[in-house]
Amino acid sequence: MQHGKYRFIAGFLVVPLALYALFVIWPFIQAIFYSFTNWTGLSPEFKMIGLDNYSRMLEDDVFWKALQHSLVFAVVLPLVTIGLALFFAFMINVGGRRRKGAAVTGVRGSGFYKIVYFFPQVLSIAIVALLFKFAYNPSDGAINSALKAVGLGSIQPEWLGDPDLALICVMVVLVWSTVGFFVVLFSAGMASIPRDFYEAALLDGANRFTTFFRITLPLLWDTVQSGWIYMGILALGAESFAVVHIMTVGPSGGGPDYSTIVLPLYVYQKAFGPGQAAYATTIGVALLLVTLLFAAVVMRLGRRERLEF
């Protein structure tokens, strides 16, 4: 009977695992293999060159700039996005004042706020990037026009054209476009926490600050940790690539003067450059290692005893 059970389970797993290995694991193996070659990407011919691509990468100043910016994204974006999402979700679900018949409730209009916060998720990241690119336009963009309208016409930053501001402008867009998803995620988690816990805390005289850090955050910690990893992967991957590529100046984004270049965009630039496919896969391997290291660090630092209710 036991033997038949394992054969039944294996029968269901063999096809999904085979597809996963073919479309996920195998491309990783290919990328690592090509990083040790001089493959141009334009022909099937190549030869092994050992660690030459890795030596070149370590001496590449643009690579180190891209790595630095990607690490800033991986640290700052989850911190800001998760922090804002937790605050908004807490206020929407349990941060309101006591009302008749309900000791624990969200702020007034919480249903409307959920829609407003989630709205950016409906838009494609490409559309969001284009809208903000127009808003950041220094000559007739919405932001500088608003500054003129309130009498601050003397303050007209270049925004995306300023190397000191461009990276911050990009991060603002990423936070705006992703915070709504985590508000909904954390709201779902908070809705599953028994209201008795909050009511008992209120009877003991706990305020919102104490309630959040003593009840909400500990019971929501697993969801927060998963959200932190997910947001970090977004910041290191496709989301940062799309926004930087579309919004920033330069032949293929990353400007001005590489002030917004990130690893995914640098991989793209080298992959579609003349005969640099192997070097692009080398940078891709570095990006894979950074992503795995980020996830491992977050899981290690966020490890704590699981609370059940």
Q: What is the pLDDT of residues 246-266, one digit of tens each?
A: 999 877 788 888 999 999 999
CA distance 93 to 186: 10
Cα separation, 285 vs 31, in Å, equals: 7
State residue 3's pLDDT score.
59
What is the rounded average pLDDT of the residues 87-91?
A: 90
* Pairwise CA distance, residues 180 & 307, whole Å: 26
State the total domains in the chain. 1
Q: Is 12 among the domain residues?
A: no
Residue 81 lies in a domain: yes
> Model's pTM, two decimal places?
0.88
- Of 288, 269, 225, which Cα lies nearest the Cα of 78? 225
Question: Quick check: is 46 in a domain?
Answer: no
Least trusted range by pLDDT, from 33-37, 51-55, 111-115: 111-115
pLDDT of 99 > 70? The answer is no
Query: Per residue in 1-17, pLDDT tens?
Result: 455 677 777 777 888 88
Pull the structure tokens for residue 204.
């003991």
Helix (H) or strand (E) holding 280: helix 277-301
At 174-217, the pLDDT tens digits run 999 999 999 999 988 888 888 888 778 777 777 788 888 888 88
Report if residue 284 sits inside a domain. yes
Residue 37, pLDDT score: 93
Report which residue type is found at 294: F
- Identify the domain containing residue 175 by its residue range: 58-301
Q: Is the pLDDT of residue 296 over 70?
A: yes
What DSSP letter does each residue of 86-120 carry, written as one string? HHHHHHHHT-SPPBTTBSS---TTHHHHHHHHHHH
Percent of residues, the chain, with pLDDT higher than 70: 94
Query: Strand, helix or coil at 259?
Result: coil
Evaluate whether residue 113 is within a structural domain: yes
62 is a domain residue: yes
The band of 239, judged by pLDDT with boundaries at 50, 70 and 90, is: confident
- 267 neighbors 283 (Cβ within 8 angstroms): yes
Span 155-174, average pLDDT: 91
Instruction: Report yes or no on 64 lying in a domain.
Output: yes
Q: What is the mean pLDDT of the chain?
A: 86
CATH assignment at residue 152: 1.10.3720.10
Both tokens of 161, joined, read 């054209």
Phi, psi of 37 (to 5 degrees): -125, 180
Domain assignment present for residue 225? The answer is yes
